[in-house]
Amino acid sequence: MQQSNGEKIFQVFLLVFITGLSIVMIYPFLHVLSISLSTPAEALRPGVHFFPREISFFAWERVLSTESVWRALGVTAFRTIVGTILTLILLSMAAYPLSRKYLPHRGFYTMIIVITMFFGGGLIPTYLLIKSLGLINSIWVYVIPGLFSTFSLLILRNFFMGIPVELEDSAKIDGANDIRILFTIIVPLSMPVLATLALWSAVGHWNAWFDALMYMQDKTKITVQLLLRRLVITNVGDPMMPVPTAEQAPETVKAAIIMFTALPILIVYPFLQRFFVKGIIVGSLKG
């Protein structure tokens, strides 16, 4: 294909722009990774760190040999996996009827669900609710309150609405009930949007810490992000703590734990990415 000079210049410009953008996004990771693999002295040196100048695995050994890190990671993994799966099941079961035009009072139901997008109880009522539900200190406090996302529901509903009713009709003639239709016809046809919603939910779960702060008194069940926050915010210059009850984490250890908590979710991204754009666009435009 012939390209005019203008187009070529534009292409070059695009390439430079995208490269620059990538560097801006990748560099912080490289920097932190490089610090985490450096000796403590090397980590103190100023300037740009792409590669550790003196390699040391001290920080990673520290992080990987710490029991509380693994335990918190387990909690976060639990909430991410269980929370995401349950969210998808629940959303599908809610979105499917709402996407069918023959559901009586469909507009009314949709409206009461949408209203929750605009009004929230606020922190204290939410706390009281969670407390009276008996969720304080339960690991399910990470999963149940956030199980249902109205925004995701609307996206999913819109996607389902794009699936022709005729597909259902044939299944119904063959004797399939609604649940069967949902799980054997509708859901398999909606993988792009489900993958997108799964990614949103999973990333949200992975990064969540505030619920652990508010609702979890049992410190053995805190999430990895709360643990991370605790280690990283520790003040460098807290002068003269009486008894060394908590050792200050060196910069390299902080960097190592930051990488350690970011890696798993980073690894998930590329696998789901191909669904990503299609999922959002299709889900939001049709309807």
Partner 1 sequence: MKHGKRKWMTLVAMILAMVLIVSACGGVNNEVTNNVVVPTKSETKTEEPIKEVEETIEIVWANNFNAPEEDGNYVQTEIEKRFNVKITNVKLERWGWKEQFSVFLASDEIPDIFPIDANEADMAVWAEQKIIANVDRAEIATYMPNYTAALNAVDPDAWNVGHINGKDWGIPKIWPPGNDGFIPGYNKGWLEAIGYSKPPETLVELEDVLTKFTNGDPDKDGKKDTYGMSARGKLPIQMFTSVFTAHAVSPYQFKLDNEGKVVYGAITEETRTALKLLSKWYKAGLIDPEFITKDNKQLSEDFANQRIGMVDNAGWGNFNPLSGYVTGPALELGQVNTPGKPLIGPNGDSYAFAYGARQAPVLLGYQVADDDKKRQKIYEILDWVSTDLEGWLLTVAGQLGVSYDMEGDFVVGRKDESVAAPKLGYGSFYNPLTHIDVTKQKHTVSPEMLKLRESIMPGVKPLLDVLGPVAMKSKNSYWGNLITLQDTYLIKAITGEANTDNDFDKFKEDWLRSGGQEVTDEANQIYNERNK
Give me the least distance between CB of 248 and partner 1, in Å please.
5
At 247, list the tokens: 């050792």
Residues that bind partner 1 (CB under 8 A): 40-41, 44-46, 66-68, 90, 93, 97, 123-124, 127-128, 131, 133-138, 140, 144, 177-179, 213-214, 217-220, 226, 229-230, 233-237, 239-240, 242-248, 250
Cβ within 8 Å of residue 171, ≥6 positions away: 180, 181, 184, 185
How many residues does the structure list for the chain?
Answer: 287
The answer to whether 141 and 211 have CB atoms below 8 angstroms apart is yes
Nearer to partner 1, 230 or 278 (CB): 230
- Closest CB 125 distance from partner 1, rounded Å: 9
Please give the Cα distance from 18 to 255 (Å, whole number). 27
Q: Is 44 or 167 the residue whose CB approaches partner 1 more closely?
A: 44
* 3-class SS of residue 22: helix
Amino acid at 240: M
For residues 84 and 196, which CB has a smaller minimum distance to partner 1 in the complex? 84
Q: Please answer whether residues 142 and 79 qualify as being in contact, where contact means their C-beta atoms are separated by less than 8 angstroms.
A: yes
Residue 261 CB neighbours (<10 A): 21
CB of 272 to partner 1, least distance (A): 27
For residue 82 the two structure tokens come to 């269980």
Closest CB 253 distance from partner 1, rounded Å: 12
The CB density around residue 53, as the number of other CB atoms within 10 Å, is 12
For residue 55, report the phi and psi dihedrals to the nearest 5 degrees: -80, 135
Structure tokens at 122: 């606020």
Least spacing, CB of residue 161 vs partner 1, in Å: 18
* Cβ nearer to partner 1, comparing 1 with 173: 173
Based on CB atoms, which residue is closest to partner 1, 165 or 246?
246
Amino acid at 243: V
- Give rounded-to-5 percent helix, strand, coil for the chain: 70, 0, 25
CB 56 → partner 1: shortest distance, Å? 12
Give the three-state DSSP class for 55: strand
* Least distance to partner 1, CB of residue 239, Å: 4
Q: Closest separation between CB of residue 70 and partner 1, Å?
A: 12
Residue type, 215: Y
Contacts of 195 (CB under 8 A, 6+ apart): 272, 275, 276, 279
Choose between 166 and 247: whose C-beta lies nearer to partner 1: 247
User: Which residues contact residue 207 at a Cβ distance below 8 angstroms, ignoring those fewer than 6 apart?
Assistant: 225, 265
Judged by CB, which is closer to partner 1: 140, or 276? Answer: 140
Nearer to partner 1, 7 or 169 (CB): 169
